[in-house]
Amino acid sequence: VCTGQPGRAGADHRDHPAGRRGALERMAAEARIVDRVALQQADAHRLALGRVVAHAGVLAQDLGRAHPGAAAAEDVRLQDAVGGSCARVCPTEILCEDSCVRNNPAEREPVRIGLLQRYAIDHARFDGHPFGRAPSTGKVIAVVGAGPAGLSCAHRLAMLGNDVVVYEARPKAGGLNEYGIAKYKLPGDFAEREVDFLLSIGGIHIEYGRRLGENLGLAELHTRYDAVFLGIGLQASRALGLTGEDAPGLMAATDYIAALRQASDLSRLPVPRRAVVIGAGNTAIDMAVQIKRLGAEDVTLVYRRGLEAMSATGHEIEIAKANFVRIRTWAAPLEVVLDEAGRVAGMRFEQTRMEEGRLLRTGGFIEIVADAVFKAIGQGMSEEGFAEPLARELSREGERIWIDGRFRTALPGIYAGGDCVAPGQDLTVQAVQHGKLAALAIHEDIQAKAEAAWPT
């Protein structure tokens, strides 16, 4: 994938075959790291973990043993309740591995912390839950949302001796780990097994099919429980704003990935021959790679700016290249092309360029034939949960919920974390850290009867 230039709007960035082979060889070499963990145990004390949001301290010396025990996995789980998922889905190459002291001219390669953490979790064997619960506090906390933030919060609260009731809108817990991560990254039942592990500590009850603003009210929770934590994520896919967006054959990438992850018979899942993915983030890459691996002959990912502006990590872009995904840049969605039956037949784009820091349309056009179009242009807050009077009193920064440094909202006894709050960065590992730190704040505050925070 080359960067493309504004003067060559819509250029085809399919890589040279030699480049693809190189990417595949690099990926294979990285995958073999689990067979060389013993060689890296001497580096364990030198890992720079300051930029790992969950502060996951992987014990490489434990991993280096012929039969690794549970110590490394226990250390990971203590800091990151869903450490197995994080090891698979988080961009470790720009987080912990980017901060590793082995990123220097002499060594030139960080310790593969993500793979080490994955190895630890996958090979751990526990006799029961590794963490005990503190004596009961007699307090009961409501957690709304059983995604990474909510589960992390619930697990830590249970460890501290509190009882927790989790309200989840969908039939399964796990949030994006269950419904929103490409299946090639996270095996079908992995998130479910991780949830089972968390619940085995005791003291956590999940009620499914309970959606805030539909059959669950914030005022009711506020009255009924000692505290409330909102980990509701971002549930609404952003719209392209084009005529024909509701036509058969055009859908949100997250909806397709969710259907794929929950499908019991993959042969019934529709796979287009030619697909267009619109977006520039890791979800767009996930969608493009996933549909290609499912058998699509031609997959084109289209972005309105240059390759260097894509929010997807370099590692994710390498994965797209290795899977023969075509990337077109400097092209903005203009029109959904429909056939005589009203189904998607392709997309029309207008070429773009940057001029003095502004994105301009050039008047040139590109049309890409496709049987399906997937939009992956981000997600926003669903306003359904904020319809009741109490919920409308939550202070917002843009569309997200305002919180203070202790994850307190402007309403007394109500806390929030993860993607739904203003500091959220759409990272699983950050959502986990939010949930854990919020649990510590909740536990302390309900003992001290702390008042609500207020925006300044």
Same fold, 30-123 and 140-235+381-448: no
CA-to-CA separations, 377 to 22, 221, 242, 392, in angstroms, rounded: 30, 33, 13, 27
DSSP 295: T
Q: What is the pLDDT of residue 99?
A: 74
Non-local (6+) Cβ contacts of 324 within 8 A are 14, 20, 292, 299
User: What's the average model confidence in pLDDT over 146-161?
Assistant: 96
- Between 158-167, 223-232, 447-456, the lowest mean confidence (pLDDT) is in 447-456
Give yes or no for a contact between 302 and 333, defined as CB atoms under 8 angstroms apart: yes
* Confidence category of residue 132, pLDDT binned at 50, 70, 90: confident
* Confidence category of residue 44, pLDDT binned at 50, 70, 90: very low
Percent pLDDT > 90 in the chain is: 57
Q: Where are the domains of the chain?
A: 30-123, 140-235+381-448, 237-378
Asked if residue 63 has pLDDT above 60, the reply is: no
Mind listing the pLDDT tens digit for each residue in 299-341?
999 999 999 999 998 889 999 999 999 999 999 999 999 999 9
Would you identify the CATH topology of the domain 30-123? Fumarate Reductase Iron-sulfur Protein; Chain B, domain 2 (1.10.1060)
3-state secondary structure of 272: coil
User: Comparing 366 with 267, which gets the higher pLDDT?
Assistant: 366
User: What's the average model confidence in pLDDT over 10-29?
Assistant: 40
The enclosing H or E element of 336 equals strand 331-338
- Between 118-122, 140-144, 341-345, 448-452, the lowest mean confidence (pLDDT) is in 448-452
Non-local (6+) Cβ contacts of 28 within 8 A are none
Give yes or no for a contact between 173 and 166, defined as CB atoms under 8 angstroms apart: yes
Asked if residue 3 has pLDDT above 50, the reply is: no
Q: What is the pLDDT of residue 113?
A: 76
Tokens 């082995």 sit on residue: 102
- The amino acid occupying position 298 is D
User: Comparing 137 with 80, which gets the higher pLDDT?
Assistant: 137
**Per the structure block, which two tokens stand in for 29?**
């070499």
Q: What is the pLDDT of residue 130?
A: 72
Give yes or no for a contact between 439 and 87, defined as CB atoms under 8 angstroms apart: no
User: What's the average model confidence in pLDDT over 77-85?
Assistant: 75
Non-local (6+) Cβ contacts of 214 within 8 A are 169, 384
User: Comparing 40 with 259, which gets the higher pLDDT?
Assistant: 259
Q: What is the pLDDT of residue 133?
A: 92
Asked if residue 29 has pLDDT above 60, the reply is: no
Q: What is the pLDDT of residue 382?
A: 87
* Confidence category of residue 34, pLDDT binned at 50, 70, 90: very low
Asked if residue 376 has pLDDT above 70, the reply is: yes
Q: What is the pLDDT of residue 92?
A: 72
Rounded CA-CA distance 433/148 in Å is 9
Q: What is the pLDDT of residue 455?
A: 56
Buried b / exposed e along 398-427 (16+ C-beta atoms within 10 A) = eebbbbeeebbbbbebbbbbbbbbeebebb
Asked if residue 6 has pLDDT above 50, the reply is: no
Mind listing the pLDDT tens digit for each residue in 267-309?
888 999 999 999 999 999 999 999 999 999 999 999 999 999 9
Q: Is the pTM of this model over 0.85?
A: no
Q: At what angle do helices 314-322 and 282-293 cross, to 10 degrees?
A: 20
3-state secondary structure of 110: coil
Could you give the count of Cα atoms lying within 13 Å of 22 in the half-sphere of its Cβ? 7
Q: What is the pLDDT of residue 140?
A: 96
What DSSP letter does each residue of 112-166 carry, written as one string?
-HHHHHHHHHHH---SS-SSPPPPP-S-EEEEE--SHHHHHHHHHHHHTT-EEEE
Torsion angle of alpha carbons 191, 197, 201, 203, nearest 10°?
Answer: 40
User: What's the average model confidence in pLDDT over 145-149?
Assistant: 96
Asked if residue 361 has pLDDT above 80, the reply is: yes
Q: What is the pLDDT of residue 104?
A: 77
**CATH code of the domain occupying 237-378:** 3.50.50.60
User: What's the average model confidence in pLDDT over 154-170?
Assistant: 97
SS3 sequence of 369-428 = ECCEEEEECCEECCHHHHCCHHHHCCCEECCEECCCCCCECCCCCEEECHHHECCCCCCH
Buried b / exposed e along 284-306 (16+ C-beta atoms within 10 A) = bbbbbbbbbebebebbbbbbbbb
* Confidence category of residue 451, pLDDT binned at 50, 70, 90: low
Rounded CA-CA distance 387/323 in Å is 44
3-state secondary structure of 91: coil
Q: What is the pLDDT of residue 70?
A: 63
Rounded CA-CA distance 231/92 in Å is 23
What DSSP letter does each residue of 166-185 carry, written as one string?
EEESSSSS-THHHHTS-TTT
Asked if residue 128 has pLDDT above 60, the reply is: yes
**CATH code of the domain occupying 140-235+381-448:** 3.50.50.60
> Mean pLDDT of all residues in the chain?
82
Q: What is the pLDDT of residue 364?
A: 96
Asked if residue 154 has pLDDT above 80, the reply is: yes
Mind listing the pLDDT tens digit for each residue in 379-429?
988 888 898 999 999 999 989 999 999 999 999 999 999 999 998 888 888
